[in-house]
């Protein structure tokens, strides 16, 4: 009976640390925006977050284009903070990473505006409003 209870609790413990869990420490926050490239410099072991303004109520939907070079930076999670409780309030999406070994990698975040589940702009307006924020990340040995 104890084995059964432990077996039932194990999936709950594992999923509690996965996607959707709130990260309380964003580390070094670096802001970016559509159409811009921002340079980021961190040390090995340093947590950092790439932040973009968003408002899902008007159609923003930010995603990580692809996971960066895992030797340089490891992806932790995506978090969102709202600017208020009122309907339609904007906010900020944070993509949280950890610096690994010295090196460089590019991290691209994409806002597919009003794309829905398709993840591809279906109208001309959606194509014009969609875009990427690019972050050129360098992990350097710290002193």
For residue 22, is it within any domain?
no
Q: How many domains does one find in the chain? A: 1
List the domain range (segments joined by +) for residue 116.
27-139
pTM of the shown model = 0.80
d(CA 25, CA 49): 9
Which 3-state string (H, E, C) describes 2-61?
Answer: HHHHHHHHHHHHHHCCCCCCCCCCCCEEEEECCCCEEEEEECCCCEEEEEEEECHHHCCC
For residue 128, is it within any domain?
yes
For residue 134, is it within any domain?
yes
Per-residue confidence in pLDDT tens, the chain, 143 aa: 444 443 433 333 333 333 445 678 899 999 999 999 999 999 999 999 999 999 988 888 999 999 999 999 999 999 999 888 787 789 999 999 999 999 999 999 999 998 877 778 888 998 899 999 999 999 998 75
CATH at residue 116: 2.60.40.2020
For residue 20, is it within any domain?
no
For residue 49, is it within any domain?
yes
Please, how many CA atoms are within 13 Å of residue 36, restricted to the half-sphere of its CB?
12
For residue 16, is it within any domain?
no
For residue 1, is it within any domain?
no
């Amino acid at each position: 009976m104890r084995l059964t209870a432990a077996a039932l609790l194990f999936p709950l413990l594992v999923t509690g640390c996965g996607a959707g869990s709130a990260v309380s420490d964003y580390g070094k926050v670096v802001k970016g925006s559509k159409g811009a490239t921002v340079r980021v410099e961190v040390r090995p072991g340093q947590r950092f977050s790439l932040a973009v303004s968003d408002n899902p109520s008007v159609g923003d939907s930010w995603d990580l284009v692809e996971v960066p070079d895992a030797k340089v930076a490891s992806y932790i999670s995506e978090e969102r903070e709202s600017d208020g409780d009122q309907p339609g309030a904007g906010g900020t999406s944070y993509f949280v990473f950890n610096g690994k070994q010295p090196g460089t990698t590019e991290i691209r975040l994409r806002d597919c505006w009003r794309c829905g589940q398709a993840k591809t702009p279906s109208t001309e307006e959606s194509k014009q409003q969609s875009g990427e924020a690019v972050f050129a990340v360098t992990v350097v040995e710290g002193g």
